[in-house]
Amino acid sequence: MAKAYINGKFYTMEKEHDTCQAVVVENGKFIYCGSNEGALQMAQDVVDLGGAPVLPGMIDTHQHLFASARNLTRMDLKDVRTMSELLERVRRRAEETPDGQWILGTGFDQEVFTDQRILPTKEMLDAVCPCNPLVLSRYCAHMFSANSMALAAGGIGRGFQPKVPNTVEFDANGEPTGVLFDAAGSDIIALAPDPLGSLEAKKDILEKACRDLNSHGLTGVHPIQGLHCDLPEYLDAYQELNQEGRLTVRVYVNYDELPGQNLHFHTGLGDDMVKYGFYKLYLDGNLGGRNAYMTEPYADDPTNVGTPNYTQEELNALVRAGYERGFQVGAHAIGDRAVEMFTTAIETVYSEHPKPDARFRMIHLALLSDELIERIKKLPVVIDMQPLFISTDLKWVGSRVREDRRKYLYCWRRLIDEGLILTAGSDAPCESYDPIEGIYAVVNRKDMSGFPEGGWYPENSVTVYEAVSMFTKNAAYSSYEENIKGTIAPGKLADFVVLDSDLFEVDPMAIKDIHVEKTYLGGKEVYSRK
């Protein structure tokens, strides 16, 4: 049965300023967008929106959804602001945990600490947690701190050789400090008993997480596996949730492994709810850990240019392997040297075999240069950026590079002006997955307290329309789904979000205070604030 939604201000996102009063939904799709009168002629079941603003359902193009869900079972440290507070939290958790039982925590950021802006060492952790193996993950999921019991469980001691070089930190005496990176940290965490070991447990926690995504206006998400930093994803869990009618977001699932050679499928396998997405490579670390791969040494660490995960030849071969098998290929590249490597790999592979609709995914691109931008804009790429990185990082990220290069940090305005397509993701659980906060951040280039006045390099701010496009029609384009979602138009999936205020009309600083009233997936209400 057709249902009309009238008296709304539907921002279709087909083009800027394009709105309609009403829509009609039937069989999960929009069949009409126009006036109240026209909608009322097509349906007897009517919902009056009372003048509320409406957007297409929003899509997070970069998230580690299972890790976000799993964090509901771990010690949450994201609100910790001092080292002493972090250690006190650990001490209290250890006191209530039986000896020998693993303790895992996540979400802290030492860069915001007001006392010691360092990663906790094993000595610090041993003092408050001597009887339990303990591993704490920084919010970025690339850096970890472990106590002595956890290090011992992983066999990490003097003379230990990590399987990936430079992923275990040692002191001047050759002893591990407890600070770990990427694979070294995830390998130790993998030793802990898994409370979500069964498929049913995974499904239950994912369903809960998806419902929370809906509360923030999200109807789509691109979950990404990253096994080297303990970020798994489970395609079967999403499939079964969908089969059971329990999946409330559309997922485009992406992996950092290629399927076996005997599995003959490619990107796009699935349906409107669950699809197999892109093949993701991780080229470097991050700026917070100073292991993003740079062309020049870090300004605050002159002996360090970061760490690449591949040689250029290895990277070319991996990109080629995914591309030739019909997979969309994406890569995490934060430092400008890592971006250069991925740019070279795309140039090499694409020139060998140009395909009519290649859409490589360039992910993060935190630091660029004029030369890199000129090369990138000639390629068939989509850029997946993370708006909240600017809000989280702006107080310290400038210290990593020379002052004259800071204008190339998160230079999203420049990329749009060069004609590139940008999408927005959260990188959750690294950041909040609330797209309203993301829109606020990328428009204002400020943190949530409004700092700094005037914005951080405000010449790289984007408009509200551009920001919303990143979460809607650009996001749909990135997964080859622009013909079925991303805008409000007849024939497209009826995914839409009702807000309590119009983000196109409020003061940009007030955007972060806007709330989602209702979220619809295929015309079905999946969230209501009331």
Report the C-alpha dihedral over residues 70, 74, 78, 83, rounded to 10 degrees. Answer: -150
* pLDDT given for residue 71 in this prediction: 85
**pLDDT given for residue 139 in this prediction:** 85
Q: Which of 212, 199, 200, 196 is nearest to 248 (CA)?
A: 212
Burial string for 281-320 (b: 16+ CB within 10 Å, else e) reads: bbbbbbbbbbbbbbbeebeeeeeebbbbbbeeeebbebbb
Domains belonging to the chain, first-starting first, are 1-51+487-530 (2.30.40.10), 70-189 (3.10.310.70), 283-462 (3.20.20.140)
Secondary structure (DSSP) of 129-162? -SSS-EEEEETTSSEEEE-HHHHHHTT--TT---
| 84, two tokens | 């002493």
Please calculate the CA angle 416-422-424 and round it to the nearest 5 degrees.
135
Half-sphere exposure of 91 (CA within 13 A, CB side): 9
The encoded tokens of residue 79 equal 């609100």
Q: Do residues 420 and 361 lie in contact, with contact meaning Cβ atoms separated by under 8 Å?
A: no
Tokens representing 179 are 């600070």
Stated as kind and residue range, the H or E segment containing 362 is: strand 360-364
Which pLDDT does position 10 carry in this prediction? 98
DSSP-derived letter for residue 516 is E
Phi-psi region of 118 (alpha: psi -120 to 50; beta: other; left: phi over 0): beta
pLDDT in tens, the chain (530 residues): 899 999 999 999 999 999 999 999 999 999 999 999 999 999 999 999 999 999 999 999 999 999 999 888 889 898 899 999 999 999 999 999 999 999 999 989 998 898 888 999 999 999 999 999 999 999 888 899 999 999 999 999 998 999 888 899 999 999 999 999 988 998 999 899 888 889 999 999 999 999 999 999 999 999 999 987 788 999 999 999 999 999 999 999 999 999 999 999 999 999 999 999 999 999 999 998 899 999 999 999 999 999 999 999 999 999 999 999 999 999 999 999 999 999 999 999 999 999 999 999 999 999 999 999 999 999 999 999 999 999 999 999 999 999 999 999 999 999 999 999 999 999 999 899 999 999 999 999 999 999 999 999 999 999 999 999 999 999 999 999 999 999 999 999 999 999 999 999 999 999 999 999 999 999 999 999 98
Asked whether the beta carbons of 524 and 214 are under 8 A apart, the reply is no
Instruction: Encode pLDDT of 58-83 as tens digits.
Output: 999 999 999 999 888 889 898 899 99
424 and 467 Cβ atoms separated by less than 8 Å: yes
- Residue 222 CA to residue 255 CA, distance in Å, equals 10
Quote the distance between the C-alpha of residue 514 and its chain's center: 21
What tokens were used for 106? 């996540």
Q: Which two tokens stand for residue 225?
A: 């596996």
Q: What does the alpha-carbon distance between residue 270 and residue 293 come to, in Å, rounded to a whole number?
A: 36
Count of Cβ atoms closer than 10 Å to residue 56 Cβ: 32
